[in-house]
Chain A
Amino acid sequence: MEQNSSHPPYPQVLASPPGAMTPSLPIFSPMMPYGTGLTPQPVQNTNSLSLLEEQQRQQQQQQQQQQQQAASQQQGGMVGGSGQTPQLYHSQVSTTTALPGNTPLYTTPLTPMTPITPATPASESSGIVPQLQNIVSTVNLGCKLDLKTIALRARNAEYNPKRFAAVIMRIREPRTTALIFSSGKMVCTGAKSEEQSRLAARKYARVVQKLGFPAKFLDFKIQNMVGSCDVKFPIRLEGLVLTHQQFSSYEPELFPGLIYRMIKPRIVLLIFVSGKVVLTGAKVRGEIYEAFENIYPILKGFRKTT
């Protein structure tokens, strides 16, 4: 840590080639609006980060602060080519750091709309926790099933082979729905937590067992988790799509929300003007929380009070 602070301020800039998005590098980071006057300070972040990553982030913040001051003095009214990928920094998990001395001071021209950002803003974590709304999981019952028998002998099953080649079964507690296929594979949806999903899947397997099939419980895996939350302020979606156009897709004629595809973690967020955010595509709960902590500072930047 000491050796870095003695270096002259080099920008921690990864000059990504314009238009390219290398998936191997974790290069997403929250962005702050230009010139808000908030100086980045070391953040007491309550996320599950290791100490080492905390220290790395603090180093980056200090150096970026110095670089930002230097840049603002020399930059003037420089307006660069639009459509360049904005300067991106590692946010929470940094596998590489920029080597001092290798990157020049100004790699790509800066536009007012794509500001240099500190790694994380000065505020603490948002204090809002996304609620899980739906978990989709799969399990292999390990034996071939006769769907007609199941549909006949179970009360809570429906089977319409012309429409769909699986039995749709429902249980009351936890309130879930399962699709049971003749190969023995099963999909369980509707649970609100991982444990509930596992319990529900076991109950379905037990029902199938009681119906006379040698059902087992193999390879239980959670395939998708959906969460939602409310940031409690309206969001300017047009501004967000302009500054983050590589990640966002906003077509008001097709869908009223903005579809934000975050790279790290790989989550899709639906952001609405009312401030409600839906996060989907996670395999573990932590990805949803991490994605929301990443997007919250960005959304705060687009909160406008008239």
Chain B
Amino acid sequence: MPSNCPECGSSNVVEDDLYSQRQWVCVDCGSVVSEGHLTTTLSEETQGIAVPYHASTEESKKPCRNLIAGYSRVRALCRILRLSTDMESAVVSLFGRAYNHPNFIYVTLTKKEILGGCCVLSVCRQCNWPVAMGTVGYLLGVENATLGAVYREFTKALNIEISTVGIMDMLESFCYDFKLGPQQVEEVFAEPPQRLVDRTSALIELAADAWIVTGRHPLPLLVAAVYLAWQSLNPTVRMKYTLIKFCKIGQAPEQSWRRSRDSVVKRLKELRDVLCKLGRALPWLRGGTVEPNTVVQLVDDILKNRRALLMRAVRNYEHQLQNEAQPAQMTECDNKPSESNCSDSPSSKTPELIDPIQVECESPSDKEATDCQLPPNHWSKSHLFLPPCVKSRKRQRVDAPQPEVTGDEDISDSEIESYIRSQDEIEMYLKVQKKLKET
């Protein structure tokens, strides 16, 4: 506090505020000796400051732009898949939860989009609405593997119970996707969807009994089954149409066959083989040949009697295996796939079989295909219908004989020395490295 006035030198200086500004004024000459600040700092003010956002009572946070974009994308997905409004709102709320979960709030935008697809998948499964992962992956433009990884993380983070969707659930909506109504295609191609569904479901049940379905992607199998079903409903006319032609006629949904054409062809072959095996057990054929290309004509009969035919085919196979167990004469027949040699063999002793010759002659060709890969007494030989992965093993795994060790043995120095470079080697290595770096 100043005590002397610089103008007149008196020591009579009083504090006399001018409005809100502190001033020290000399009483004698009236000059202002010193004054305080006119303005105040923020920390000095106690009133009149705007309340900051974080201290306000504002509870709800405005959703960020990406979340809003995510919501609209998820809603679009629901509309494409034609989900009900309840399901759509469930998906949206689940997406909100997932987005704000600490595991997912900082991931890339693509992963957040995939997360939206996972929410759709999860809600569809909970409501038993059959949607394949391949469909959702196709809509998002990602592979199944990526989608699967995010889906697993998502179910673990949010503790959602996974329920599997079976191939039969997806069947009906898949069949209805094909446009085969009488107005859309010609009369010979037209097929009411319900008939197609019935025939296809019978075919898929048959395939499941013959172990073609388990462990495989469902969509290629569905395409193959629908194609065979459509052909078999009017075989005389439709037999000449290939799979690709059928997909074009019926305007099949592209994602089902475009990406996985090879798988569809393979499943088709497997289905036809199963139908041939059953067709051969038909009693009224009496030894006529059943070829994969023409088996479509018999599909109707086969499906009507499939239970009986399955049992019969398996029984025939078992009888035939028993006959083969008898030594000597059968081995000759096994190596020669020609029909005449087989019919000469004396081992067709089973009188209740109507076509033993047929069955015997079909099995040698099977055995030849598999003999080279499987050991002779492999357990799969005694089953007629098996998952294809068992019968076609490309490479035999040979387990090398394991040394018996105790873990605490002595380790020879020479062995360890063999793992260490000598000085010459090191020098050569350094030289080569230097040369490589220079170039």
Are A256 and B405 also in contact (CB < 8 A) when A154-B421, A232-B379 are?
Answer: no
Chain B residue numbers with a CB within 8 Å of A233 are 379
A33 and B166 alpha carbons, distance in the complex (Å): 21
Given contacts A196-B407, A306-B385, contact A154 B420 (CB under 8 A): yes
Please judge, given known A-B contacts A152-B429, A253-B144, whether A193 and B421 are in contact too, CB under 8 Å.
Answer: no
The stretch among B68-76, B209-217, B241-249, B358-366 that forms the contact with chain A is B209-217
Q: Report yes or no: A195 in contact with B429, Cβ–Cβ below 8 A.
A: no
Chain A residues with CB below 8 A from B402, complex form: 192-193, 196
Chain B interface SS verdict (over half): loop
User: Does A196 contact B389, Cβ atoms closer than 8 Å?
Assistant: no
Minimum C-beta distance from B411 to chain A (A): 5
Within the complex, what minimum Cβ distance (angstroms) separates B217 from chain A?
6
Please list the 10 inter-chain residue pairs (A to B) with the smallest Cβ-Cβ separation, ordered nearest first: A198-B407, A195-B407, A256-B215, A254-B148, A273-B215, A273-B214, A253-B133, A232-B379, A274-B390, A273-B387
- Indicate with 1 or 0, residue by residue over B171-200, a CB within 8 angstroms of chain A CB atoms: 000000000000000000000000000000
Q: How far is the CB of A226 from chain B (nearest CB, A)?
A: 14
Given A273-B214, A306-B311: A210 touches B417 (CB 8 Å cut-off)? yes
Does B157 reach chain A (CB closer than 8 Å)? no
Q: Is the CB of A253 within 8 A of B217?
A: yes
Which B residue's beta carbon lies closest to that of A253?
A: B133
Q: How far is the CA of A192 from the CA of B218 in the complex (A)?
A: 37
Q: Tell me if A144 counts as interface (CB < 8 A to partner B).
A: no
Residues of B within 8 A of A210 (CB): 416-417, 420
- 18 of the cross-chain contacts (CB-CB < 8 Å) are A19-B161, A152-B421, A155-B421, A155-B425, A171-B419, A174-B405, A195-B405, A203-B416, A237-B215, A238-B214, A245-B161, A245-B164, A251-B162, A251-B164, A253-B133, A272-B215, A273-B214, A306-B310
Q: Mark B396-439, 1 if CB is under 8 A from A, else 0.
A: 00010011011111010001111111000110011000000000
Number of interface residues of B (CB under 8 A): 53
Task: Looking at the assembled complex, report how far the CB atom of B419 sits from the nearest CB atom of chain A, in whole angstroms.
Answer: 5
**Which residue on chain B has the smallest CB distance to residue A258?**
B215
Residue B134 is within 8 A (CB to CB) of chain A in the complex? yes
Query: Does B132 lie within 8 Å of A194, measured CB to CB?
Result: no
The answer to the question of A257 belonging to the interface, with a C-beta cut-off of 8 Å to chain B, is: yes
Q: Are B407 and A207 in contact (CB under 8 A)?
A: no
B32: interface (CB < 8 Å): no
CA distance A237 to B164 in the complex (A): 11
Contacting pair A251 B403 (CB below 8 A): no
Given A152-B429, A306-B311: A254 touches B145 (CB 8 Å cut-off): yes
Tell which of A153, A173, A196, A206 touches B421, judged by Cβ atoms closer than 8 Å: A153
User: How far apart are the CA atoms of A238 and B218 in the complex, in Å?
Assistant: 12
Given the contacts A154-B420, A253-B133, A275-B390, A237 and B214 also touching, CB distance less than 8 Å = yes
* Cβ–Cβ < 8 Å partners of A238 in chain B: 164, 166, 208, 213-214
In whole angstroms, what is the CA distance A236 to B385 when docked? 13
In Å, the complex CA distance between A203 and B410 comes to 10
Contact of B148 among A131, A251, A274 (CB under 8 A): A251
Q: Which residues of B contact A71 (CB under 8 A)?
A: none
Q: Does B386 contact A (CB under 8 A)?
A: yes
B56 interfacial contact with A, CB 8 Å: no
Q: How far is the CA of A232 from the CA of B378 in the complex (A)?
A: 9
Per a CB cutoff under 8 Å, which of A154, A173, A199, A252 touches B217? Answer: A252
Q: Is the CB of B386 within 8 A of A155?
A: no
- Describe A's contact surface by its main secondary structure: loop
A143-158 at interface with B (beta carbon < 8 Å): 152-156
B39 within 8 A of A: no
- A230 closest partner in B (C-beta): B379
A99 within 8 A of B: no
Instruction: Flag if A196 contacts B411 (CB, 8 Å).
Output: no
State whether the Cβ of B314 lies closer than 8 Å to any Cβ in chain A.
Answer: yes
Pairwise interchain contact B133-A194, C-beta atoms closer than 8 A: no
Q: Which residue of A lies closest to B218 (CB)?
A: A252
Q: For the complex, what is the distance from the CA of A156 to the CA of B408, rounded to whole Å?
A: 23
The reply on A250 being an interface residue by CB < 8 A is yes
- How far does the alpha carbon of A232 sit from the alpha carbon of B379 in the complex, in Å? 6
Q: Which residues does chain B contribute within 8 Å of A251, judged by CB atoms?
A: 133, 148, 162, 164
Cβ of A202 < 8 Å from any Cβ of B? Answer: yes
Query: Contact at A234–B426, with CB atoms within 8 Å?
Result: no
B60 within 8 A of A: no
In the assembled complex, which residues on chain A have CB atoms less than 8 Å from the CB atom of B418? 155
Query: Is A194 in contact with B218, judged by CB distance below 8 angstroms?
Result: no
How far is A241 from B165 in the complex, measured between Cα atoms in Å? 11
Q: How far is the CA of A274 from the CA of B418 in the complex (A)?
A: 43
Distance in Å from the Cβ of A157 to the closest Cβ of chain B? 8
Contact partner, B405, options A193, A232, A234, A273, Cβ 8 Å: A193
Kindly supply a per-residue 1/0 record for chain A positions 248-284, scoring 1 wherever the CB is within 8 Å of any chain B CB and 0 otherwise: 0111111111000000000000001111000000000
Given contacts A257-B215, A306-B314, A155 and B419 within 8 Å (CB-CB): yes
CA distance A131 to B401 in the complex (A): 13
Interchain CB contact under 8 A, A234 and B390: yes
CB within 8 Å of B: which A101-158 residues: 131, 152-156
Contact pick for A174, options B216, B385, B403, CB 8 Å: B403
- In the complex, residue of chain A having the shortest beta-carbon distance to the beta carbon of B133: A253
A274 touches B163 (CB 8 A): no
Contact digits for A213-237, partner B, Cβ 8 Å, 1 yes 0 no: 0000000000000000000111111
